[in-house]
Structure 1
Amino acid sequence: MAKASKLESSLLAQASTKGLTIDIGLTDKERATVAAELSKMLADSYTLYLMTHNFHWNVTGPLFNTLHLMFMNQYTEEWQALDSIAERIRALGLYAPGTYAEYAKLSSITEPSEVPAAEKMIELLLKGNEAVAKTARAALKKADEAGDDPTVDLLTQRLDIHEKNAWMLRSLLQ
């Protein structure tokens, strides 16, 4: 068995010291492992949401209207998903991360320090959606190993959306 990450160990301690027993067919360790993966997914998703919303506000150039609307559709959908991911962590009996500091530690996405040109925005959002897809795929594997079907379902849906977003963004660059 693989060694638990620092995040997973912290969540495992939280899962087993809350006093009320959670008996949903997953062990404390399984719940902590899945919640740790979902926490990374939440951090990546929030970071992508924020970057997409930023680009929606600040995009310029000949594709302004197309990108402004595309980015709005993507950040609106992402905003709705954040709640589902956080609530799944809570359903597993653990606390969801909810601060910029936690997201910065957990996210695999690096935000730009300046407002990029429109084509660079597309490239960054493409990479961001691919990063979230990879995070979802890794989390899905852990959830499947634990037999956590509701999390597998949630992550399958998220994976589908981020792969579709990546395809649409990639198409703009071809």
Structure 2
Amino acid sequence: MEAKIGISAEHLAEVAHSLSKILADEFVLYTKTRKAHWNVEGPDFYNKHKFFEEQYNQLADIIDDVAERIRKLGHYAPATLKQYLELTHLTEDDRGKNDATSYIKTLLSDHESILIHLRENINNYATALKDAGTSDYITALMETHETMAWMLRAHLS
């Protein structure tokens, strides 16, 4: 059923497509964080294993929230690995070692890439697409990624 929420159908479709790309990014980052959790090795294994678990749990919540935001706008969320890989701007390939530092650098780079993408689009949602709700949502999502990136960065000092 069409969402009649004061935003044109065309704008809703654009927002939903943009959010689908964000969902894909979040899913790829979630998967890479799970990989780090499962495969990290080294003298700090236990602490990093738990740390990566906290991060992937946060990302799982983000994934659910982004998908639900798409549904609130009257569109369907992509939900296949093929769709995610077609929509994401991240890469699956990290080519790092199984040590915490390699994983942290890879994950930090992805968080920062997502942050730049989010920041570049916040105003577009509110002004061009007339969707202040998504603009606010993306602002909060950006702040969450800033905190997650900070936590990763702190491990590199």
Q: Provide TM-score, normalisation by structure 2.
A: 0.90
**Cα offset, 1:30, TM superposition:** 1.1
Matching residue's letter, 2:81: Y
Alignment: residue pair count: 155
Cα distance in 2, alignment partners of residues 131 and 115 from structure 1: 18
Does the CA contact (< 8 Å) of 1:129 and 1:162 recur in 2?
yes
Which of structure 1's runs of 4+ aligned residues deviate more than 4 A? none
**Cα offset, 1:39, TM superposition:** 0.7
For residues 11-40 of structure 1, the C-alpha deviation after alignment (integer angstroms, 9 at most, x for no partner) is xxxxxxxxx543211001111111111011
Cα distance in 1, alignment partners of residues 77 and 36 from structure 2: 26
**1:105 corresponds to 2:82:** no
Matching residue's letter, 1:168: M
Cα distance in 1, alignment partners of residues 104 and 27 from structure 2: 18
Pick from 129, 133, 140 the counterpart of residue 115 of structure 2. 133
Cα distance in 1, alignment partners of residues 2 and 81 from structure 2: 31
% same residue: 37
Does the CA contact (< 8 Å) of 1:34 and 1:142 recur in 2?
no
SS in 2 for 1:173: coil
Does the CA contact (< 8 Å) of 2:2 and 2:74 recur in 1?
no
**Cα offset, 1:141, TM superposition:** 2.7
**Cα offset, 1:113, TM superposition:** 6.2
Which blocks of at least 5 consecutive residues in structure 1 are unaligned?
1-19
Q: 1:166 maps to which residue?
A: 149
SS in 1 for 2:155: helix
For residues 72-91 of structure 1, the C-alpha deviation after alignment (integer angstroms, 9 at most, x for no partner) is 11100110111110111111
> Greater Rg, structure 1 or structure 2?
1
Q: 1:7 maps to which residue?
A: none
Pick from 31, 36, 49 the counterpart of residue 12 of structure 2. 31
Does the CA contact (< 8 Å) of 1:49 and 1:75 recur in 2?
yes
Q: Provide TM-score, normalisation by structure 1.
A: 0.82
Does the CA contact (< 8 Å) of 1:44 and 1:109 recur in 2?
yes
Kindly report which structure 2 residues correspond to 1:1-174, keeping only aligned pairs within 5 A, or say none: 20-112=1-93, 116-118=97-99, 119-145=101-127, 146-174=129-157
Cα distance in 1, alignment partners of residues 16 and 120 from structure 2: 12
**RMSD between superposed Cα atoms in Å:** 1.7
Does the CA contact (< 8 Å) of 2:3 and 2:72 recur in 1?
no
